Amino acid sequence: MFQDIAPHHLSIAYTPRMPQVGDYLIFIQDDSILLLKNDAQSLPQYGIEPFRNIDDKDFIFLFSMDEIAFFYASCDYQVDEKTMWHRISILRTIEPAWLGFATTTAYHLAYWYDTHQYCGRCMTPMEDVTIERALQCPACNVIEYPKICPVIIAGITDGDWILLTKYATGEYQRYALVAGFAEISETLEDAVLREVMEEVGLEVQNLQYYKSQPWGFSQSLLVGFFVEGDRTKKITIDSNELKEAVWCHRDELPHDDDSALSLTWDMIEAFRRGWKP
């Protein structure tokens, strides 16, 4: 899956240092990231054109990947003939694959820094906590830590059948599984039962944990479960969430380019190969 980057190793440990030539720079603008205009659509690197003489006073250390560090560039940047803004979904296809995962993780942290510049209680500019990755308000002492949102993915099965869905909105329009954010006070198991009922109107049972996956695109941790449903029951789609929900036999499942990337398609492929509760 996306996070399977061995033999490379991403160390999220907060060990800040100054940028060195070759370190990667993350510039973001809402849900877009700055890339170089070349055939490889490569990431900006410190000390390498067109970022040879850039001021590093606004750089924030994010993490290291092997011997290379990633930094969030918190300054404004005006694109030129050598650079362009690109939707973060491009990171699904960036090569090498380890760089795509690392950059998505960097976007997760950079987005948190970008959206927590001021204290949510008193609007004072936040400051770095030097001993750990956190931001603190110097006026009222509120401390903020990076946000991780738990999301459940439910593979609803009935014998040799699995329920596939398509989202009603959004950029991703291929087949997926029922999914949703866990709410405050919920267990992950309760979130599965609620999301399945809300999105397709089915009761399910026999929840079995499958795998988890960090998903920096939505600042989330995805948690996959297989559950048992009844395909003779009527499906009632929440049209705000889905535009399609269809039972598909194990031998007739579609294929998708995401099969080696996302937890959703890892689960679908596992079911295709014969996974049973």
Q: Where are the domains of the chain?
A: 10-114, 116-147, 149-272
Contact 225, 210 (CB under 8 A): yes
Q: Which of 145, 139, 110 is nearest to 123 (CA)?
A: 139
Report the SS3 class of residue 124. Answer: coil
Q: State what percent of residues in the chain have pLDDT above 70.
A: 97
Average pLDDT of the chain?
Answer: 92
Can you tell me the mean pLDDT for 49-57?
82
pTM of the predicted protein model: 0.91
- Rounded Cα distance, 170 and 273, in Å: 29
From 12-26, 42-56, 59-73, 242-256, the region with the lowest mean pLDDT: 42-56
Give the dihedral of Cα atoms 236, 241, 247, 250; nearest 10 deg: -160
Nearest by Cα to 28 from 86, 69, 89, 83: 86
The pairing of strands 242-249 and 127-128 is unpaired
Residue 51 has what pLDDT? 87
CATH code of domain 149-272? 3.90.79.10
Longest Cα–Cα distance of the chain, Å, equals 65
Confidence of residue 79 (pLDDT cuts 50, 70, 90): confident
pLDDT given at position 40: 64
Task: Give the mean pLDDT of 233-252.
Answer: 94
Q: Which residue has the higher pLDDT, 232 or 77?
A: 232
d(CA 137, CA 131): 15
Give the chain's length: 277
Cβ neighbors of 50 (< 8 A, separation 6 or more) are 80, 82, 83
Asked whether the predicted pLDDT for residue 45 surpasses 90, the reply is yes
Question: Residue 26 corresponds to which tokens in the numbers above?
Answer: 């993350």
Judged against a pLDDT cut of 90, whether residue 259 lies above it is answered with no
pLDDT value of position 24? 96
Percentage helix, strand, coil for the chain under 3-state DSSP, each rounded to 5: 20, 30, 50
Task: Give 101's DSSP letter.
Answer: H
Confidence of residue 128 (pLDDT cuts 50, 70, 90): very high
Distant-in-sequence, close-in-space partners of 96: CB < 8 Å, separation ≥ 6: none
259, 273 Cβ separation under 8 angstroms: no
Report which DSSP code applies to 47.
Answer: T
Q: Distance (Å, rounded) from C-alpha 253 to C-alpha 256?
A: 10
